[in-house]
Amino acid sequence: MKTIFIPLMALFFLGCQSDKLKKANVINKKQVTMDLKKGNEVAIFAGGCFWCTEAVFLELDGVQSVKPGYIGGTIPNPSYDDVCSGYSGHAEAIQIVFDPAKITYGELLEVFFATHDPTTVNRQGADVGTQYRSEVFATNAQQKELALTYIQLLNAQNTYGKLVVTKVSDAPEFYIAEDYHQNYYNQNKEKSYCSYVITPKVDKVRELFKDKLKK
């Protein structure tokens, strides 16, 4: 994979499963509601284990909050067991509340595509299943257009040496995951999955996006 990623500013001018199963399942049945401050926006990405994606995006200046959860399935109020079995059809995803005056949606897309493998179907490393698929869930038409255009550019420049298979969909209901999934990396850095899988991703975002990190 090439280490150079396409900046999205041009577009604006142009128009972890085995460790998880050891935990008790505490079901959160509440559908997400958000009290957004004026000017903040929401982005939703699925890029494999949500412990990884949460840890990556918490590093970024302008990101107000990151919530791991479930999206894109066929049943309401899914539990972790429903999702990890593949029965519900949901993806593990993160819901990001961000300040576009500090970090744009385009910049979030850059980080998303730089910190997971968007060329594998229903898989990220050893994590295999439909819940680990790569998918952008757009919350408005502009997000959808930007994501589709960015994927086209990545493929046109053969950035990964393989075709990007990330799906782009309109965002359906998002359900926050059980409490033990929230802020998982920062509370469990001693765990082997955190050390061997999540830490390298965090190190990567710190190296590639030094100018976008929280101070």
Catalytic residues: 49
C-alpha 25: how far from chain center? 22
Q: Are 131 and 86 in contact (CB under 8 A)?
A: yes
3-state secondary structure 105-152: HHHHHHHHHHCCCCCCCCEECCEECHHHCEEEEECCHHHHHHHHHHHH
Structure tokens at 22: 């050891």
